């Protein structure tokens, strides 16, 4: 808590020092009780960087200390002290055994960090610094120890007792309690510790590794949910096989466990051998989960599983290195998803996320490098920059070194660093050494914040038959860093002839004769010459989104429409359509300024129509092409955002597109409307996606015919994907059928929290004038729970981050609603509060009137007496 105390002090990467002591083994005993749980922690400790006579200082928070025993002698009160989140033992020998007994109160733990309860069961969350809420410890990732854990609990209430590693023993006690003992043979940092105890059902399966070992797989849920785990189990097996085939990485224990819990601050957690998951990312069947849910489950199960090697076997030296494990593991899960489904569709989805969420982060008050330089609370840096941009940095290495070169680098990484806590520099060194490359300049991607802009100019010499590309890079200053250096940008590209056919790429300085190449942009400005180009080509640049940069080019509309049709790169075909529309919305805003009505040119409509009716494109890519950039995304291109005008312009154009394409949309819908079998292959998902997008467009026309299609789709109930798509169409409308269908849906699903979340989010993201009033009413509805992160994200989060016009309402009511909620939640769950408050921090981007209200609301949050360090850090950056 910050207020009456001094301003929280940032922790800096530059101040890193190795641990004074190491903890080599940990033996834990938990006497579980919801009100008061006793933890007995016996550690073997060895002096490391400390000088003889230096104190031992352990972290601990929200703990009641019962006793401290050093080498068998209980210390008197004068032989140690506790203050400011620390236990200090002034005098310790070079090696010793220390036993610390503490008590903690799981039932009252609303922050959902450390040991807490969810649906009456016990579970833990330790990353990043939650272990210090369980016991006193050197809570830093470069202290790696082997753990044994004994759990004692009431047998009736908590029949299942789980921890990391292997179960080694169990027994019964006289008083109705029982116990289990677990041992984890692999040294790990304490953030990977986990304990679960409760009344859980188990879905068990097995996996035979490539070397022939059998691994038992178990997914635990509350008993009524055990029938919803098939997809998660199948996903896990796919991920295990993929990692063997792609990276030669085999699972290392004989047991892999996943536990699903309803109260969880984020998506999931990769604890060694005992992953804990938000139930949203485990439970699915076609009646309750959408295609997007199924895909997210497959990706996150894989992500957490992949952490076993990239994160657990090799971990981070300190939390500034978070992207070492997260960027790399996101890259791995992206590659996995690309292999399981459609690679271009996955790439488009990743680029969209980066552009709509990470670029704004890079261009706002929370801007920070992939490897941050300082933080107050590391929880605040589990960001899109660390995760998604971090994955782009890994992807660029993959592009520069090639798949084989990248694999050599990975092999060397595991050979050199298995069992260690290392840095992003160590990872890059493996990539460099395995390939004989110098990555010094490349590593600026780790230290420099902000999104580079690439300005490209083209010239053609028709006498010499030469084509010239001049590329200039510039990274704008960010709030945290003034000066920027040029970075290494892999620019994948090709040339297209005026006939639409690919042109061979003959680079003057290199022997190539391909249709596609990767230029390495390293200078502030450089010119590349292409020889033997018979006519002025169309350059297709940044294919596959080969670098996380903003490309600036002056392409005319005809060229964009030409690229939409002829580019051999699926990503750039898609991107040309997105650029065209963004440009059109900006022109429409100028029209509105001049008192003119926005108009979508027929040529544009024709280009989108051709996509929709194409015989060669698959449905998923059609759907991507017709999913036009959001108002938020377009807002990034504007100097100052005027949300009302932006939305008015965009809506007008979308509606005109729907009108122009009406017969085509109707036909495309009809062709796909009667699929009865529900399968989860990429083709089937693509069909549903396109069908439902057609329905959404038709919904813009607000005609009875289409409203009826939506209602029918809801009531046929083939699967949740179609039902939600139908409800989504109705959700924006002011008709009795809307309320009727939403009510019926609620009545049907009110006992299913995950489906109720969809119901909340649908209403929170509806395009309706009175959406704020709807949100306020829903906050008082029995479906809402002010303590559950999923409910909060589905109502408040969805409204603030997913309802641009509703949240940015000119009178500031949206901002006030969020600020009020943050102030209320902050003392209860600071992590969720500080993630919500980010919806207010980009005030500089808006008009003066909104700026004033936003600043006022931020001030109000910051001056609240109970403002947490988490929220303080975000808000103070925003106001700073
Ligand atoms: N490593 C966890 C995230 C932990 C967040 C702690 N505030 C999940 C993941 O990225 O795999
Ligand atoms: Zn992760």
Spatial neighbors of 796 by CB under 8 A, at least 6 apart, are 764, 775, 779, 817, 818, 821, 836
Contact (CB, 8 A) for 366 and 877: yes
CA of 625 to the centre of ligand 2 (A): 30
Judge whether 164 and 253 are in contact, CB under 8 Å: no
Nearest CA to ligand 1 atom 8: 269
Which ligand is the nearest neighbour of the Cα of 191? Answer: 1
> Catalytic residue among 127, 304, 326, 632, which?
304
Distance CA 557, CA 87 (A): 66
CA dihedral 193, 198, 199, 205 (to 10 degrees): 10
Number of Cβ atoms within 10 Å of the Cβ of 615: 4
Q: Tell me the C-alpha distance between 577 and 795, whole Å.
A: 32
Joined together, the tokens standing for residue 692 give: 């439902």
Q: If residue 762 lies in a helix (H) or strand (E), which one and from where to where? A: helix 753-764
Please tell me the predicted confidence (pLDDT) of residue 2.
46
DSSP letters, 623-691, are: HHHHSPPPHHHHHTTSSSB-HHHHHHHHHHHHHHHHHHHHHHHHHHHHHHTT------SHHHHHHHHHH
pLDDT tens across 425-474, in order?
999 999 999 999 999 999 999 999 999 999 999 999 999 999 999 999 99
Residue 536: both structure tokens together: 């002025």
Residue listed under structure tokens 């993630």: 835
Cis peptide before 128 (omega within 30 of 0): yes
Nearest residue to 265 via CA among 797, 746, 759, 780: 797
Residue 604 structure tokens: 């544009």
For ligand 1, atom 3: residue with the closest CA: 269
Q: Do residues 574 and 563 touch, judged by C-beta distance below 8 A?
A: no
Which of 131, 190, 326, when mutated, tests ligand 1's pocket best, judged by the most ligand atoms within 8 Å of its CB? 326
β-sheet bridge partners, residue 26:
43, 147
Pairing label, strands 144-154, 201-208: unpaired
Other beta carbons within 10 Å of 241: 14
- Residue bearing the CA closest to ligand 1, atom 1: 269
Query: Could you give the C-alpha distances from 312 to 53, 272, 308, 625, in angstroms and in order?
Result: 33, 7, 5, 39
Nearest ligand 1 atom, CA 303: 11
Q: Is the dihedral of CA 781, 783, 785, 790 positive or negative?
A: negative
Q: Ligand 1 centroid to 426 CA: how many Å?
A: 21
pLDDT of residue 717: 80
Q: Which has the closest alpha carbon to 266: 134, 111, 140, 375? A: 111
Nearest CA to ligand 1 atom 4: 127
Q: How far is the CA of 326 from the centre of ligand 2 (A)?
A: 5
pLDDT, position 5: 55
pLDDT (0 to 100) of residue 632: 94
Inter-helix orientation angle 813-825/771-779, to 10°: 20
Residue nearest to atom 2 of ligand 1 (CA): 269
Cβ(689)–Cβ(674) below 8 Å: no
Question: Ligand 1: residues whose CB is within 6 Å?
Answer: 127-128, 266, 268-270, 303-304, 307, 326, 379, 382
Pairing mode, strands 517-521 and 538-541: unpaired
Strands 144-154 and 177-189: antiparallel
- Sheet with 466-474, strands from edge to edge, namely 525-530, 466-474, 453-461, 550-552
| Residue-level pLDDT at 676 | 84
Residues near 622 by Cβ (< 8 Å), separated by ≥ 6?
A: 611, 612, 614, 686, 690
For residue 307, the ligand 1 atom closest to its alpha carbon is: 11
- Contact between 319 and 139 (Cβ < 8 Å): no
d(CA 556, CA 559): 5
Query: Could you count the other beta carbons within 10 Å of the beta carbon of residue 83?
Result: 7
CA-nearest residue, atom 7 of ligand 1: 379
Pocket test for ligand 1, best of 111, 130, 133, 268 (most atoms within 8 A of CB): 268
Instruction: Give, for 823, the enclosing helix (H) or strand (E).
Output: helix 813-825
Distance 368 CA to ligand 2 centre (A): 19
Probe target for ligand 1 pocket from 382, 387, 829, 870, with the most ligand atoms within 8 Å of CB: 382
- Among all ligands shown, which has an atom nearest to the Cα of 328? 2
User: Which among 456, 141, 468, 180 has a CA at the least distance from the CA of 315?
Assistant: 141
Active site annotation includes 326: no
> Which ligand is nearest to the Cα of residue 264, counting in written order?
1
**Atom number in ligand 1 closest to CA 379:** 7
Give the number of whichever ligand sits closest to the CA of residue 301. 1
Q: Is 426 buried (19+), middle (13-18) or exposed (0-12) by CB count in 10 A? A: middle
How many whole angstroms from 475 Cα to the centroid of ligand 2? 28
Query: Model confidence over 656-715: pLDDT tens digits?
Result: 999 999 999 999 999 999 888 999 999 999 999 999 999 999 999 999 999 999 999 999
Q: What is the mean pLDDT of each run of 10 residues along the chain (880 residues)?
A: 68 98 98 98 98 97 98 97 96 98 98 98 98 98 98 98 98 97 98 99 98 98 98 98 98 98 98 98 97 98 99 99 99 98 97 97 97 98 98 98 98 98 99 98 98 98 97 96 97 96 78 79 97 95 98 96 96 98 97 97 98 97 98 95 98 98 98 92 97 98 98 94 98 98 98 98 97 98 98 98 98 98 98 98 98 98 96 97
What is the distance in A from the centroid of ligand 1 to the CA of 703? 45
Measured by CA distance, the residue closest to atom 10 of ligand 1 is 326
Tokens in use for 789?
């992160």
Calculate how far, in angstroms, residue 217's C-alpha sits from the geometric centre of ligand 1. Answer: 22
């Amino acid at each position: 808590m910050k207020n009456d105390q001094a301003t929280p002090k940032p922790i800096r990467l530059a101040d890193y020092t190795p641990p004074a002591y190491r903890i080599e083994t940990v033996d834990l005993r938990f006497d579980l009780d919801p009100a008061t749980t006793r933890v007995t922690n016996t550690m073997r400790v060895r002096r490391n960087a400390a000088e003889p006579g230096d104190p031992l200082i352990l972290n601990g928070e929200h703990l009641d200390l019962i006793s401290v025993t050093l080498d068998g002698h209980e210390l008197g009160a004068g032989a140690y002290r506790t203050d400011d989140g620390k236990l200090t033992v002034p005098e310790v020998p070079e090696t010793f055994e220390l036993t610390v007994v503490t008590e903690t109160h799981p039932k009252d733990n609303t922050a959902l960090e450390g040991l807490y309860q969810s649906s009456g069961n016990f579970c833990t969350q330790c990353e990043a610094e939650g272990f210090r809420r369980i016991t006193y410890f050197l809570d830093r990732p470069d202290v790696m120890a082997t753990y044994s854990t004994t759990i004692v609990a009431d047998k009736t209430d908590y029949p299942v007792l789980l921890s990391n590693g292997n179960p080694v023993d169990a027994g019964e006690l006289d008083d109705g309690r029982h116990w289990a003992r677990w041992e984890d043979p692999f040294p790990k940092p304490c953030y990977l510790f986990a304990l679960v105890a409760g009344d859980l059902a188990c879905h068990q399966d097995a996996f035979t590794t490539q070397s022939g070992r059998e691994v038992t797989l178990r997914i635990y849920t509350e008993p009524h949910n055990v029938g919803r785990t098939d997809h998660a189990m199948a996903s896990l097996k796919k991920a295990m096989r993929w990692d063997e085939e792609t990276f030669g990485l085999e699972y290392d224990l004989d047991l892999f466990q996943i536990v699903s819990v309803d109260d969880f601050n984020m998506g999931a957690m990769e604890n060694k051998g005992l992953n804990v998951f938000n139930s949203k990312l485990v439970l699915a069947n076609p009646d309750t989960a959408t295609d997007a849910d199924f895909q997210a489950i497959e990706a996150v199960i894989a992500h957490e599983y992949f952490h076993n090697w990239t994160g657990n076997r090799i971990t981070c030296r300190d939390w500034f290195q978070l992207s070492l494990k997260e960027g790399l593991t996101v890259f791995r899960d992206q590659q996995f998803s690309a292999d399981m489904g459609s690679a271009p569709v996955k790439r488009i989805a990743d680029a969209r996320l980066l552009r709509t969420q990470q670029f704004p982060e890079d261009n706002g008050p929370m801007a920070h490098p992939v490897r941050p330089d300082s933080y107050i609370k590391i929880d605040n840096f589990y960001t899109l920059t660390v995760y998604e941009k971090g994955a782009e940095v890994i992807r660029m290495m993959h592009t520069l070194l090639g798949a084989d070169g990248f694999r050599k680098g990975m092999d060397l990484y595991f050979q050199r660093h298995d069992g260690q806590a290392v840095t992003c520099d160590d990872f890059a060194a493996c990539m460099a050494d395995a390939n004989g490359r110098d990555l010094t300049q490349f590593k600026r991607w780790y230290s420099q914040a902000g999104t580079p802009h690439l300005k490209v100019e083209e010239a053609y010499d028709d006498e010499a038959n030469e084509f010239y590309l001049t590329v200039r890079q510039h990274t704008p200053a960010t709030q945290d860093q003034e000066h920027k250096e040029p970075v290494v940008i892999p620019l994948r590209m090709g040339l297209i002839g005026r006939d639409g056919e690919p042109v061979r790429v003959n680079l003057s300085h290199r022997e190539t004769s391909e249709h596609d190449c990767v230029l390495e942009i390293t200078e502030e400005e450089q010119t590349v010459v292409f020889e033997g180009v018979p006519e002025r080509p169309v350059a297709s640049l940044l294919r596959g989104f080969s670098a996380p940069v903003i490309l600036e080019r002056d392409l005319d509309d005809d060229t964009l429409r030409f690229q939409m049709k002829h580019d051999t790169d699926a990503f750039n075909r898609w991107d040309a359509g997105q650029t065209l529309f963004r440009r059109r919305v900006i022109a429409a805003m100028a029209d509105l300024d001049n008192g003119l009505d926005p108009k979508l040119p027929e040529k544009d409509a024709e280009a989108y129509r051709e996509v929709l009716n194409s015989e060669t494109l698959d449905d998923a890519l059609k759907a991507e092409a017709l999913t036009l950039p959001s108002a938020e995304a377009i807002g990034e291109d504007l100097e100052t955002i005027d949300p009302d005008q932006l939305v008015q312009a965009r809506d007008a154009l979308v509606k005109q597109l729907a009108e122009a394409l009406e017969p085509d949309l109707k036909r495309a819908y009809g062709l796909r409307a009667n699929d009865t079998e529900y399968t989860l292959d990429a083709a089937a998902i693509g069909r549903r996606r396109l069908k439902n997008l057609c329905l959404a467009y038709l919904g813009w026309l607000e005609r009875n015919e289409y409203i009826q299609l939506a209602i029918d789709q809801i009531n046929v109930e083939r699967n949740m994907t179609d039902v939600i798509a139908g409800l989504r169409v109705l959700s924006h409308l002011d008709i009795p059928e809307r309320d009727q269908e939403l009510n019926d849906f609620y009545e049907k699903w009110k006992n299913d929290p995950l489906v109720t979340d969809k119901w909340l989010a649908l209403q929170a993201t509806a395009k309706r004038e009175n959406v704020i009033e709807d949100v306020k009413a829903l906050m008082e509805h029995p479906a809402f729970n002010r303590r559950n992160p999923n409910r909060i994200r589905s109502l408040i989060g969805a409204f603030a981050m997913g309802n641009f016009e509703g949240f940015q309402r000119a009178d500031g009511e949206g901002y006030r609603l969020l600020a009020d909620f943050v102030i209320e939640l902050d003392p209860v769950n600071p992590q969720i509060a500080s993630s919500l408050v980010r919806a207010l921090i980009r005030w500089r981007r808006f008009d003066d009137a909104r700026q004033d209200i936003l600043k006022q609301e931020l001030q109000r949050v910051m001056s609240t007496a109970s403002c947490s360090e988490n929220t303080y850090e975000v808000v103070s950056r925003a106001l700073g």
